[in-house]
Amino acid sequence: MGFESVCEQCEEMLQPYLDRELNEAERQQAEGHLDQCGYCRKRYRFEEDLRRYVRSACDEPMRAELKAKLASLRTPLD
Amino acid sequence: MAEPETNARRIAEDARDRVRFEEEVLELSDQVYRVARRLVPSREEAEDLVQDTYARAFRSWRSYTPGTNLRAWLMRILTNLNIDRGRREQRTPDMRPMEEGDYFLYNRLEEAGGSGDEQQIVERLSQDGIVRALSSVPHDFRDAIVLVDIGDFSYGEAAQILDIPIGTVMSRLHRGRRILKSQLAETAVGEEA
């Protein structure tokens, strides 16, 4: 099997690897390759960074007015 | 003889359960808003959607089974309301952006060059560009990304919330992330971070 096709397989495993969805044999296969391959290792690290970055870019805090409005929707105690 | 007392106790217990429920639901509001904000295009729509969700949750608190997943229960109400509001009509199924492999965005960023630490390559993307790119991902795929990657729901919870099989959540999530990355490669590369 050529080196290129091993990297292609590794690319296919990127998302399930980070989501911890690979079985034990697949995980070992991915990690074995990542130990030796800087090309794939960089791209895996980037994917992890990207997920964190997307999360922080998309975080827009709720306005205090809305929070107060939600509390006012509660059933009044009688 | 003991009946009025039993009744009074039941009413008191009921009131206590309701107050506890409402407090727990309100504690989740930041998380609910974070998801809502990325399911709809504007802040105003997200605020309306969250308000409607809370109004309905407070009204139908008895249909929640204590001890089960309250966050998922709330999110199910929210996604159903979002569908009821007609967002499905906005679907444009034939306009799916091109989807590349998982290494594509990194390759594009690396090609685009620029100085900077290898560790910080992700920061070559603009934050506004990320928000725009996510909003351009077709709904079905975006719902999965928003619930799992932004809302921190598991695949199983997302499946329950969207009422689809878990395998469908996984495939939409995987394809959705690839579509997002293709969009980012098109739109956000080269903008000021």
- Report pLDDT digits (tens) over A46-77: 999 999 999 999 999 999 999 999 999 998 76
* Cα within 13 Å of Cα(B8), Cβ side: 5
Mean pLDDT by groups of 10 residues along chain B of 193 residues? 79 90 96 95 95 96 93 96 74 61 91 70 89 92 95 94 95 94 80 49
Q: Which domains does chain B have, with CATH numbers?
A: 3-90 (1.10.1740.10), 93-187 (1.10.10.10)
Question: In the block, which residue shows the tokens 């096709």?
Answer: A5
Cβ-contact B49, B36 below 8 angstroms: yes
What is the pTM assigned to this prediction? Answer: 0.87
- CB contact under 8 Å between A74 and B105, yes or no, is no
Closest residue to A42, CB basis, from B18, B34, B118? B118
Give contacts of B29 with chain A, Cβ < 8 Å: 62, 66-67, 70
- Give percent above pLDDT 90 in chain A: 83
Q: Say if A5 is an interface residue toward chain B (CB within 8 Å).
A: no
Closest residue to B121, CB basis, from A46, A55, A73? A46
ipTM of the complex: 0.86
Smallest Cα distance from B140 to chain A, Å:
18
Parse chain A into domains and list their residue ranges: 3-72
